[in-house]
């Protein structure tokens, strides 16, 4: 109970459910290195054919937007309603549009 108290780094795990889909974040785990992180991810997150491909990323390598910045960061897209197809009125009898 001495040397092992140094914690293994935290990895975030992403799994591709099947071909054609994106890798999706499924959770996290600790591992001593990248290779072991993939092995652990297989055991912890894909015991029932949940995936065909795994990515692991050191959690400290991820840069995230800050929750405090939420408004300044995402607000500008809120008033650009013209970016959505429903903004445009098209007569009902025009087909295929």
Partner 1 sequence: MTTTPARPDQEERLQAAFDATIARHDRIEPRDWMPDPYRRTLVRQIAQHAHSEIIGMQPEGNWIGRAPSLRRKAILLAKVQDEAGHGLYLYAACETLGVSRAELTELLLTGRQKYSSIFNYPTLSYADVGTIGWLVDGAAICNQVPLCRTSYGPYGRAMIRICKEESFHQRQGYELLMTMMRGTSEQRAMVQESVDRFWWPALMMFGPPDTQSPNSERSMAWGIKRNSNDELRQKFVDMTVPQAEALGVTLPDPGLRWNEERGHHDFGEPDWAELAAVIRGDGPCNAQRLAHRRAAHEDGAWVREAATAFAERSAQDRTEAAAPTTTGEGGR
Q: Which residues bind partner 1 (CB under 8 A)?
A: 1, 3-8, 10, 26-30, 32-33, 36, 43-44, 47-48, 64, 66-67
> Shortest gap between Cβ of 26 and partner 1 (angstroms)?
8
Q: Which is nearer to partner 1, 62 or 97 (CB)?
A: 62
Q: Which is nearer to partner 1, 63 or 86 (CB)?
A: 63
> Shortest gap between Cβ of 19 and partner 1 (angstroms)?
22
Q: Which is nearer to partner 1, 2 or 86 (CB)?
A: 2
3-state secondary structure 50-84: CCCEEEEEEHHHCCCCCHHHHHHHHHHHHCCHHHC
Structural contact between residues 32 and 2, judged by C-beta atoms closer than 8 angstroms: no
For residue 26, what are the contacts with CB-CB under 8 A and spacing of at least 6? Answer: 13, 14, 15, 45, 50
């Amino acid at each position: 109970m001495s040397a092992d108290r140094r914690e293994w780094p935290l990895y975030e795990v992403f799994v591709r459910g099947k071909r054609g889909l994106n890798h999706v974040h499924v959770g996290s785990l600790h591992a001593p290195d990248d290779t072991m992180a993939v092995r652990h991810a297989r055991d912890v997150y894909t015991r029932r054919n949940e995936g065909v491909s795994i990515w692991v990323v050191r959690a400290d390598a991820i840069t995230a937007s800050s929750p405090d910045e939420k408004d300044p960061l995402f607000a500008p897209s809120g008033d650009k309603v013209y970016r959505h197809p429903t903004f445009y009125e098209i007569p009902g009898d025009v087909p295929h549009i």
